[in-house]
Amino acid sequence: MSGSPISGFAHVAIAVTSLAEARRFYCGMLGLDEVPRPDLGIDGMWLRVGDLQLHFIETDVMPVPGPGFPHFALHIPADVWTDKLNELVGAGIVFLMGPSERVDFGVRVRAAFITDPAGNVVELTDAGPLNA
């Protein structure tokens, strides 16, 4: 078999200590929309991120982060990058790193790192998904 039949992510799931705080942060601050979630027997929430989903599971114990700066990245289009980051600064969001700018293979990439209320590291970047 040549190549992989896997074409991308369906969703990413993360642990949070409070769904209410996660909802305020991801829906209120970052502007994501909640989508219906079936009763899976554990507290959680699903949000739409473009054509994909970000899933949340509420827990009392957060996973211990390991080496390599574990994170996931959310794409912010270049034309609204500055306005969105200014909005976050105005709302008191503390940046873990950045905003910064670099050139990857001849393409300008802007990135900033923040943490959500549970301590998950979120990269915000204007580098969109790769086109095949």
Q: Residue 88 is part of a domain; what is its CATH number?
A: 3.10.180.10
Answer for the pair 8, 17: CB distance below 8 angstroms, yes or no: no
Q: How many domains does the chain have?
A: 1
Spatial CB neighbours of 71, under 8 Å, sequence gap ≥ 6: 113, 120, 121, 122, 123
pLDDT at 60: 87
| Degrees, nearest 5: CA angle 54-91-15 | 25
Contact 31, 77 (CB under 8 A): no
Q: pLDDT value at position 131?
A: 47
Tens of pLDDT, residues 77-88: 889 999 999 999
Across the range 27-41, mean pLDDT stands at: 93
Q: How many residues does the chain have?
A: 132
Whether residue 3 is contained in a domain is answered as no
Instruction: Report d(CA 97, CA 114) in Å as an integer.
Output: 7
Q: Is 41 a member of any domain?
A: yes
In this predicted structure, the answer to whether residue 132 has a pLDDT above a threshold of 50 is no
pLDDT at residue 66, rounded to an integer = 66
In a domain, 91, yes or no: yes
Question: Is the distance from CB of 81 to CB of 100 less than 8 angstroms?
Answer: no
Write the DSSP symbol of residue 83: H
Q: Domain of residue 34: give its range.
A: 11-60+71-125
Q: Count CA atoms closer than 13 A to 56's CA, side-chain side.
A: 28
| pLDDT over threshold 70, residue 2 | no
Report yes or no on 102 lying in a domain: yes
Among 55, 57, 63, smallest CA distance to 32 is for 55
